[in-house]
Amino acid sequence: MINVIGLGYIGLPTALMMASHGVEIIGTDYNKQLVDTLNAGHTTFKEDGLDELFQNALRAGMKFTTEYQKTDMYIVSVPTPYDKFSKKVDACYVV
């Protein structure tokens, strides 16, 4: 099983594409409202083909959670804002 952490514009489509190829996926995000929306069967943004992939993944049993899940592999897809003045990346979403 693979845990995709961060279910935004990169994480959710990545999770859905892997699920469409038979990979067992759990989606994790700290945003409870987002997780509740996904578990209720709704996406929060539009992208060509996303709804079909999403509905197929739900039918296959894909779940979304705010809780840490121990899995075989992790894909971390969270924001890493860049401060152009200090020239540093803000890793607060990662650590």
For the chain (95 residues), the mean pLDDT of every run of 10, in chain order, is 96 97 97 98 95 96 95 92 86 76
pLDDT for the residue numbered 91: 81
pLDDT for the residue numbered 83: 84
pLDDT for the residue numbered 93: 77
Q: Which amino acid is at 16?
A: L
pLDDT for the residue numbered 66: 98
Its pTM stands at 0.87
50, with CB counted inside 10 A (0-12, 13-18, 19+), is middle
pLDDT for the residue numbered 82: 87
Q: Which domains does the chain have, with CATH numbers?
A: 2-89 (3.40.50.720)
